[in-house]
Chain A
């Protein structure tokens, strides 16, 4: 007879099924905000022990086929309600990830998804295949998240993520190489309608979508009249984007019923609960994980059955 709604009582630390995998929990860290899942293992907190305690999944920094140097400084700009970043997808590249990071992830046992990006749709299939060949036996490797918010060189630099047909092609390419792992499409909010993109991901065989990636934003330095970031605009993230993320998650859940991993401005248990209330299957912590590496672990603890809900 309890009036507690299911989303409020959800045990975020209980194993749950996504596609063909069982994931250990529903509180994750977002791509680009917790490295490759290898930093911070030596950091300690009086209450939460390790920053990895209770995490359902770490989504790695986005990996590209070749290493990328990323953008010049400054790469970050703090704003009153969030931050702009212009990291430029700096990453070690696929082969170095496979050679240096995977073995350590295997030892650490952190549950993880690998975030992938390319410059053409074929890259997603090739990268997924290379991953499957090397990591196929790793029990803590659950699959991939396709970062579709990057320019498609083959289509004149338009983001993959803005065209439903391209989203479908990328998902299908990864799916074909990963029959028994999770494939998530990470969607950009920088479109008028997000639902057609989610539907395209489903047609391509994705198990669900992650929403949202960063919003495009810009800050002007009033001393110079010029944008603060060298590439003018950057990715806007943090508490200020949460209402946008909630609206996108709500649309996708209601119109498609697909599993949605919600991300945007989550810094506490109450933020995570807003996404669960809308039907999100899991949530990711991004910007807040930078300031406090225990943010996700703290939320996981608070939303565990014995935890203290807000």
Chain B
């Protein structure tokens, strides 16, 4: 199953090194921390503003990378918190609490991996691919349009799908359709019968990935998202319905969960609603 975190979490004040648009609808934040930190792909951090700007709850974002004393994130503006985050200038301070949660297991000699990433679900899989990816694996990224693809982050080993076609950078192509449809197409050309699926992205994509894996008898790990109050297991706010009947927490049991342990019928049954109050 999932691997233990690379190191215990720290609560610290970070300084924004860079914060800007990477492509349409996707921002990148690099945050300098007072001391080095490690992370394992799939882990996340709770970010918050400082002083009087503090939000009642931190906002969970997956960790993309830790390089040169800075921890990096990719995010989309989803509401009040992330829109304020997008306006934060270099030099500003943010509260950092991480790394939290479990992680994607490191590489073993099992079957090749099929990575399905959608939108800002990219960080866990990009980080995993960077550390553990092999030639035999298939890494796929899906977005709505080519302008929403962070081409500079994706090596040639990543295949890209877009809902609607458009101009792509020189030398890069995008399949028109869902990332799951692209997976179907690429798998048809491969001799391997057995794959392990790793998926991270919007809920409909996770559902499709879980169905695909179940239909073919493959194991499937998904990175889930839920509203979080604490990120460290004490509030029981972030529950995901479990097949066994009760709940799994996205922040402690997850965010990486075995798709077979999730009750997909109950998961996300109540439509998401804005966290902001007014």
- A-side residues, CB < 8 A to B, are 32-35, 39-40, 42-46, 61, 69-70, 72-83, 85, 87, 90, 219, 221, 223-224, 228, 230, 238-239, 287, 289-294
Contact = CB atoms under 8 A, between A and B. Distances in A.
B10 A43 contact: yes
Contacts of A238: 56
A221 B273 contact: yes
B278 A80 contact: yes
A177 B60 CA distance: 44
Interface of B: 8-12, 34-35, 46, 48, 54-58, 95, 97, 226-230, 232-237, 239, 241, 245-247, 252, 266, 268-278
Contacts of A79: 56, 277
Closest 9 CB pairs of A and B: A79-B277, A42-B8, A35-B234, A290-B230, A76-B237, A221-B273, A78-B275, A39-B233, A290-B229
A255 B264 CA distance: 54
A73 B235 CA distance: 13
B11 A293 contact: yes
A83 B56 contact: yes
Contact of B235 (A42, A82, A87): A87
Given A74-B270, A238-B56, A291-B57, A40 B234 contact: yes
A44 B11 contact: yes
7 contacts: A39-B232, A43-B97, A73-B270, A76-B237, A77-B273, A83-B229, A289-B234
Contact of B97 (A33, A73, A292): A292
Contacts of A70: 236, 239, 247
B262 to A, nearest CB: 13
Nearest to B5: A42
B11 A292 contact: yes
A291 B58 contact: yes
A292 B234 CA distance: 11
Contacts of A87: 235-237
A240 B246 CA distance: 32
A81 B52 CA distance: 12
Given A40-B232, A70-B236, A290-B235, A78 B276 contact: yes
Contacts of A44: 8-11
Contact of B9 (A34, A43, A290): A43
B270 A221 contact: no
Given A292-B11, A294-B11, A35 B35 contact: no
B58, B226, B239, B246: most-surrounded residue (chain A CB, <10 A):
B239
Nearest to A226: B273
Nearest to B48: A291
Contacts of B55: 78, 291
A291 B230 contact: yes
B24 to A, nearest CB: 24
Given A70-B239, A224-B273, 5 more contacts: A73-B226, A73-B241, A76-B227, A228-B273, A292-B11
Contacts of B226: 73
A230 to B, nearest CB: 6
A82 B12 contact: no
Given A87-B236, A291-B48, A224 B271 contact: yes
Contact of A290 (B54, B234, B275, B276): B234
Nearest to B234: A35
Nearest to B11: A45
B232 to A, nearest CB: 6
Contacts of B271: 224
Contacts of A221: 273-274
B25 to A, nearest CB: 21
Nearest to A37: B234
Contact of A39 (B234, B239, B245): B234
Contact of B8 (A43, A75, A291): A43
Given A35-B234, A83-B56, A292-B97, A72 B269 contact: yes
A35 B237 CA distance: 12
A85 B234 CA distance: 13
Contacts of B56: 78-79, 81-83, 238-239, 287, 291
B233 A35 contact: yes
Nearest to A48: B11
A32 B235 contact: yes
Nearest to B235: A290
A230 B229 contact: no
A69 B247 CA distance: 8
